[in-house]
Amino acid sequence: MSKRKHQSIVYNADGVEFTIYQTIKPTKAGPRVYWLLEDYTTGKRRLLNNKTLRAAQQRADKIRAAMVKGQANRFALSEGAWQDMCVAREAVLSMGGGSLSAAAQEWADCTLRLGGKVSLLEAVQFYVTHYADGGSSPQPTGFVEAAEQYHQFKLDAGKSKGHCKNIRSELDRLLSALPPGVRLDQLTAGQLDAVVVGFGLKEKTRNEYRIMLSSLYSWAAKQNPPLVPKGFNPAQDMERHKVKHQEVEFLRAADLRKILVAAPTKRPDLVPLIVLVCFAGLRPSEAVRLDWSEVGADYIRLPGKKSKTGYSRQIPIQDNLKAWLALWRKNEGSICPGIDLPHLNVAIRHFLGVRLSHDAMRHGYGTHRQKVLKNVGAVADEMGNSPVVCRRHYLNALCSEQEAAEWFSIMPVAAANIIHMPSAAGVPSAVAGANAI
């Protein structure tokens, strides 16, 4: 619908003349009359809308009063202040910004909207960094969609099944606690912290959630189009929890001997994995990937692609481990085929009668090996851990040198007592309905 100007009048506001236009706008309810007041006080022509002629005249009176007040304030300014205003006006005009009063009003409006959180300059810098670089504008994306894409990215990148499974589990748990339909760019560090803390997790696991979320947001900003603005990563501002030191529970030599006495007859398929973890410090996930071609006479060469850290490492083969490996040594092929790691400890408890805490076998290696070497750095290199972690876990006063010597002297009883390993499918499961280990 278009507006039509019918007539104009000149209103004298105590010596200052204003033009007022009568305008008719067609509406569904019929023609409607408006009065437009012409104003040049900002340096540009403006038409100010009013519902009645009297309202337009009153507005003209207010503008005239403001002009008089401004003139009075001019005389109250010092010479320096007046020069500042003149310089500011020239700066605004040179940038095509119209009048100084209009620029000041725009600044005030922007500052009000920012609510004192950041300055107008900081807001402009953020805009230029994230939106004005000629790239694609961020595409608003729900957290659930971003989670699916990120998990698929990890799978396509060839990350390990265990790694991808952990990410999927963490993302699913977050999705169950976050508001339905929430967008990736709507979440704050405080919201994410509250959700993670609400899970009742220990400090180390909370930090793992923060790291995963930080990687998710970094990945999202690199997509085309990006899913969040560049640099937007609330996970980086999440709380970094200090991990409290706790003594690790490690497997003792007596219990390991009990396991290795019973395993060759009850679960022979588990023996290679047990000795690789206990006498070489491999993670179970690394042991099941190991091939005979990577086991030499004196060292195990673990490739980076099979290591949790992504870095290769060389691990010395202890004398007792040589004896164990000699029972099954081949030129090539998997050393630990068909092992279902999630049920490993269940199987050991059920078939071999020893209850293990998480990572107890590997902690056993680290604790006893540190007592032998007395060198945290060397133990860290062998295990693929950081010296900080090894120092925290394996400088253990509860282990004696005698126990360490006993640990690395556990040998197979006799080759005749070690039967050939059956396939995992032929071994009874640890619990009803569980997968074969």
DSSP codes, 232-277: --GGGGS--PPPPP-PPP---HHHHHHHHHHHHHH-GGGHHHHHHH
Which residue's entry shows tokens 């337009």? 56
Yes or no: say if 314 and 324 are a contact pair by the CB < 8 Å rule: no
**Average pLDDT of span 77-81:** 65
Topology classification of domain 253-426:
hpI Integrase; Chain A (1.10.443)
The predicted structure's pLDDT at residue 229: 87
The predicted structure's pLDDT at residue 105: 80
Segments of the chain assigned to CATH 1.10.443.10: 253-426
Q: How sure is the predictor about 437, in pLDDT bands with cuts at 50, 70 and 90?
A: very low
Q: Which two tokens stand for residue 106?
A: 């725009």
The predicted structure's pLDDT at residue 422: 43
The CA R_g of the chain, rounded to the nearest whole Å, is: 37
Segments of the chain assigned to CATH 1.10.150: 143-237
Q: Backbone phi, then psi, for 341, in 5-degree steps?
A: -60, -40
In this predicted model, which residue has the larger pLDDT, 435 or 338? Answer: 338
Q: Quick: pLDDT tens for 385-415.
A: 999 989 989 988 789 999 999 999 999 986 4
- My answer on whether omega of the bond before 225 falls inside 30° of 0, hence cis, is yes
CATH number at 143-237: 1.10.150
Nearest partner of 247 among 404, 360, 396, 401, judged by Cα: 396
HSE value, Cβ hemisphere, 13 Å, CA-based, for 102: 16
The predicted structure's pLDDT at residue 93: 75
The C-alpha angle 44, 49, 55, rounded to 5 degrees, equals: 115
Q: Quick: pLDDT tens for 220-274.
A: 999 988 999 888 999 999 999 887 777 889 999 999 999 999 999 999 999 999 9
Tell me the C-alpha distance between 363 and 278, whole Å. Answer: 8
The predicted structure's pLDDT at residue 315: 97
Mean pLDDT for all residues in the chain: 85
Exposure string for 389-407, b = 16+ CB within 10 A, e = fewer: ebebbbebeebeeebbebb
98: left (phi over 0), alpha (psi -120 to 50) or beta: left
Q: How sure is the predictor about 115, in pLDDT bands with cuts at 50, 70 and 90?
A: confident
Q: Quick: pLDDT tens for 32-54.
A: 888 999 988 766 788 889 989 99
Residues 6+ apart with CB under 8 A from 412: 260, 264, 323, 324, 327, 418
Q: Quick: pLDDT tens for 179-228.
A: 999 999 999 999 999 999 999 998 989 999 999 999 999 999 999 889 99
The predicted structure's pLDDT at residue 417: 45
Q: Backbone phi, then psi, for 370, in 5-degree steps?
A: -65, -35
**Average pLDDT of span 278-294:** 95
